[in-house]
Structure 1
Amino acid sequence: MPRSARPRSRQRLFTWPLLVGVVVVLALVTLSLFVGVYDIWNDPDGLTVFFATRIPRTVGLVLAGAAMAMCGLVMQMLTQNRFVEPTTTGTTEWAGLGLLLVMLLFPEAPLMARMIGAVIAAFVGTMLFFLFLRRVMLTSSIIVPIVGMMLGAVVGAISTYVALSTNMLQSMAIWFTGSFTSVMRGYYEPLWVVLIVVVIIFIAADRFTIAGLGEQVATSVGLDYRRILLIGTMLIALATGVVTVVVGNLPFLGLIVPNVVSLMRGDDLRSNLPWVALGGVALITACDILARVVNMPFEVPVSLILAMVGSVAFIALLLRQRRRA
């Protein structure tokens, strides 16, 4: 390899714009620690509240934002479609159905058991979606997320019917509403599991990139395409299941950030991963801060803010795809 090519590949990962992005994210994270109705400075229990709620909540924002954004990028690579992510393929609805079934069958089940049920259901639903894409030839990339949202709507309707029949509709609504109000010390710790997902995605970035070129290309270079697809599905299901149980539904997070990064930097997965992680953290933190201050002293669910931003971004991407076509 020529000597001039080595520093260029390193600079694509660690550049001054990336450092500026890190500073901006750190500023948002710091602001998140001190935004809220409770006065942590003058109240005698302020320090206790700070360590019991503010720090866990901010850590949860960082972990959930980075994991869901990176899972959206991996799903887009594996499906070769920019419009898919866990909330447009029904993965979140499957995780919710798994959580509901565990709550029905084992009402006293601990948080870890509920999480396992959500992860298994999310894995099954994501695999069914991938199998559907392999079996059916779709004429447009726009049809893929539409089919995914239709499947998710069917699964969501089944969950609603089951919850309504068993008087658990209110509990399901609370569980599925994306909000960080319940993320506190002693409850948020399972979110550290998604850090494993982030690390594995960084390690396997090159393999996911090759798999995104198609099964024939991946097989021709000696890569086990089905194994990579299985690993990617497991990572997506694990992150989605954990985040759904602890936080709830975070719509369009994995759609907005990877597409914005790709528009700005191209489709190099490995060099885009730090930007996607930072973008996911920045977006979810900014939306959460806005959710806390827009209607003080009450708090708006962060999923509402994300849905508003994400729906506009989704429509803009669809219109851009139509103009290019």
Structure 2
Amino acid sequence: MLLALFSLFTGEYQLTGHDEGWRMLWITRWPRTASLILSGIAMAMSGLVMQLMSQNRFVDASTSGTLEWSSLGILLAYVLFKNPTIFERMTLSIVMAFVGTLIFYKLLQNIRLEGPLMVPIVGMMIGAVISALVTFMSMAMGLDQVVQTWFVASFSSIEMGRYEYLWLILGLVLLLYLFADRLTLASLGEETATSLGLSYQSTVLVGVCLVAFAVGLTSAVIGQLPFVGLIVPNLVSLYRGDHLRSNLPWVCLCGAGIMLVSDILSRILIRPFEVPVSILLSIFGAIVFTVLLFRKYLTKGG
């Protein structure tokens, strides 16, 4: 709550002392703060689901190629519709995020990968290929400047009328809560889950749909937000274990908190300019990713 209030009143435009101050609060500041909270919830939630389904701590939308697939969907929206609406971008972004995430999990099910680190490496390799394809296509079609804006997420352009689709994320949280026990059972592996009476493939498909909708929606409205889904579930599970239903509220709160802190820092580090939030998240995420790697292998060695 304190972070949200601080976010509302942080910025170069002073809300007090101006006749239009409170109007600007509702036009720009409130949409920005709400977008930060909702996108943080979406990305943290998607990371939690992906880690459970893959049984790997190092998997999230940025280490599985899902973000790059959603960018491909946004590019296709510009190719097909020339000047696409948010709904058209969102729809194709979700569809391509679903395709990419499904390919990633089918690959994990059919190819035996030795060691937990190999899974995110394969995901990042797929993501690099898709990213190169998007860059090539966008340059060939003269859309490189348009598409690159979705690779570097910034909340500076968020205002009333541009963020409202993000409220659908609350519905995703409710659906995830309803399917929490099934996804927790699926995290035990296909053989164990099936022996307990769970339809494993159907449950994985539900999880993929939730991830694709969360990542695709956020990417279409905001842009790529890397490593949030990697950082938050790992930090929560260190203290609370791996039960999805009990962890979900904490994951949502921590996801929103990390986004708010990152955005506040982005606005005060080089005032009056802003650092894109995705840059701060990449730096912080890379540090946490490295710490998790060393912690795992030091624990294994001990």
Q: Normalized against structure 2, the TM-score is what?
A: 0.98
**Structure 2 residue aligned with 1:179:** 154
Equivalent residue letter for 2:265: L
Q: Distance in 1 between matches of 2:55 and 2:258?
A: 24
**Structure 1 residue aligned with 2:102:** 127
**Structure 1 residue aligned with 2:175:** 200
The secondary structure found in structure 1 opposite 2:161 is coil
**Structure 2 residue aligned with 1:144:** 119
Gaps of 5+ in 1: 1-25
Length, aligned pairs only:
300
**Structure 1 residue aligned with 2:256:** 281
Query: How much has 1:112 moved relative to structure 2?
Result: 0.4
Q: Distance in 1 between matches of 2:149 and 2:43?
A: 20
**Structure 2 residue aligned with 1:240:** 215
- Give runs of ≥4 in structure 1 deviating > 4 Å: none
Q: Distance in 2 between matches of 1:51 and 1:45?
A: 10
**Structure 2 residue aligned with 1:261:** 236
The secondary structure found in structure 2 opposite 1:137 is coil
How large is the Cα RMSD of the aligned pairs?
Answer: 0.9
- Find the partner of 1:73 among 41, 44, 48: 48
Equivalent residue letter for 1:259: N
The secondary structure found in structure 2 opposite 1:66 is helix
Query: How much has 1:176 moved relative to structure 2?
Result: 2.2
**Structure 2 residue aligned with 1:111:** 86
Q: Normalized against structure 1, the TM-score is what?
A: 0.91
Matched, 1:62 2:8: no
Q: Distance in 1 between matches of 2:76 and 2:18?
A: 42
- Find the partner of 2:165 among 190, 194, 197: 190
Equivalent residue letter for 2:116: S
Q: Which moved more, 1:79-88 or 1:103-112?
A: 103-112
Alpha-carbon displacement from aligned partner over 1:181-222 (angstroms, at most 9, x marks no partner): 122100000111111111111111111100000111111121
**Structure 2 residue aligned with 1:308:** 283
Equivalent residue letter for 2:61: P
Query: How much has 1:105 moved relative to structure 2?
Result: 1.7
Q: Distance in 1 between matches of 2:154 and 2:170?
A: 20
Query: How much has 1:139 moved relative to structure 2?
Result: 0.7
Q: How does 1:72-111 map to 2 (within 5 A)?
A: 72-111=47-86
Q: Distance in 2 between matches of 1:135 and 1:175?
A: 32
The secondary structure found in structure 1 opposite 2:84 is coil
